[in-house]
Chains A and B, each alone.
Chain A
């Protein structure tokens, strides 16, 4: 089955620790994204990548880092510099049209990160 997987589903970390969230897709999508969602709020873009070995900051990149070494994988590291990391993290992917326009996104099931 094609899709996007995120792991783990729930993650607990102590303050001051870095943690890496996994995102894998087998849809052969070019573009991948990371969003953060706080309770009762909308999605906020952290980082995105439209091509392997290239990624761009979104609206709230501070305290986060990513890599895109493979088309299928786009891991997100939440560093100790992120002041309020407890949130629901969603990974998404999409095709790009031949004209370079982002198409509709497909989301993974998300990771709930809680900092203790």
Chain B
């Protein structure tokens, strides 16, 4: 089982729609959680951190469910410019090391 799993998509939704992605992680000791966005042929960029209490940034809402070991990203009123691949990221702390794990990404395509 992968340490971080995402539905690869693609999700193809009309402009203005609301779309949600989930990401599951396997290690209950995971400590920090993030969503990144990667445009085609570009580097990933941090979209938002995910806090236990959930957090919102404009049209984007991220939530963490530690009991079920998943994080989610909700995009409201989607724009054409939201088309990208969204990467779920988890950090772990072992006894003597720390690790950051990227999911394979969910592709989102917004159509006019």
Contact = CB atoms under 8 A, between A and B. Distances in A.
Contact of A102 (B44, B49, B100): B100
Interface in A97-116: 99-110
Name the prevailing secondary structure of the A interface residues: strand
Contacts of B57: none
B104 A42 contact: yes
B32 interface: yes
A105 B45 CA distance: 9
Interface of B: 31-32, 34, 41-46, 49, 87, 89, 91, 93, 97-100, 102-105
B82 to A, nearest CB: 19
A81 interface: no
A100 B34 CA distance: 18
A103 B45 CA distance: 14
Contacts of A25: none
Given A42-B105, A50-B98, A96-B98, A102 B42 contact: no
> Which of A41, A102, A109 is the most central at the interface, judged by chain B CB atoms within 10 Å of its CB?
A102
Nearest to B105: A42
Contact of A109 (B42, B91, B97, B102): B42
A104 B32 contact: yes
Interface residues of A, number: 22
A94 interface: yes
Given A43-B44, A108-B43, A110-B43, A102 B105 contact: no
A101 B43 contact: no
Interface string A72-112: 00000000000000001010001010011111111111100
A66 to B, nearest CB: 17
B104 A101 contact: no
A107 B100 contact: no
B98 A101 contact: yes
Given A96-B98, A102-B100, A105-B89, 19 more contacts: A41-B104, A42-B102, A42-B103, A42-B104, A42-B105, A43-B102, A50-B98, A88-B41, A101-B31, A102-B91, A103-B91, A104-B34, A104-B89, A105-B100, A107-B45, A108-B43, A109-B42, A110-B42, A110-B43
